Structure formats: structure tokens, C-alpha cells
Amino acid sequence: MSAPDTLARLAATIAARRTADPATSWVAKLHARGLPVIARKLGEEAVETITAALAGTHEELVGEAADTIFHLLVLLDAKGVSLDEVLAELDRREGTSGIAEKAARNAD
């Protein structure tokens, strides 16, 4: 099982649950509460990931990283951005120095 397969299955599950009953689906509940809540939840998870990286155990970091990726996919779904679009952008950047890529973005 590869990471892209896992992420693709997760993205499909999130899309399928978007319109489920908010009483039974966390994804539906987040969508019902709106984009600001989804974005704030992603931010909370990102901070928890940073905290786990700096002061937590390996297992805590793994769990928080999974939460962050999950909530990022919920946010992307809410904005109509597909996982394939994000993966294509990563493919486009592959082999390019991060420093060179950032300089190219700042030159625009």
C-alpha cells in the first residue's frame, strides 16, 4: 500500500461524507459549520503537530501528523481543490531546489 493510495482513499471518503448527517460524521459536521471552522481546526492540528515534534513522543507526532493531513484534506475538499491537483503541483516541483522554487515565486 502506497502513501498516494492511502491519501486518495482518504480524500474519497472525505468527499463521500461531506453531505452525511453531521450527527454521525465529523467531516459533515465540519462542513456544516463552515470554512472558518475547518480552517481553524487545521490550524489547531498544525500547532499540535509542531508541539509534538518539539516536545512529544514519536507516537504523538505520528498521530498529530495524521490529524493534520486529515484536516488539510477536509479543507481542500471544502474549497474544491482535489488531491490530484496538489500532487500534480508537488510533481511539478520535484527536482527543483526549494530555495530556487521560492525565489521564482517571489520574482513574480
pLDDT tens for each residue of 25-76: 999 999 999 999 999 999 999 999 999 999 999 999 999 999 999 999 999 9
CA distance 74 to 46: 14
Helix axes 58-78, 26-33, angle to 10 degrees: 50
Q: What cell was used for 58?
A: 514519536
Assess whether pLDDT exceeds 90 at residue 4.
Answer: no
pLDDT of residue 83: 94
The pLDDT value recorded for residue 23 is 97
Among the listed residues 59, 34, 61, the one whose alpha carbon sits nearest the alpha carbon of residue 46: 61
8 Å CB contact between 17 and 32: no
Q: Identify the band that residue 107 occupies on the pLDDT scale cut at 50, 70 and 90.
A: confident
d(CA 83, CA 11): 7
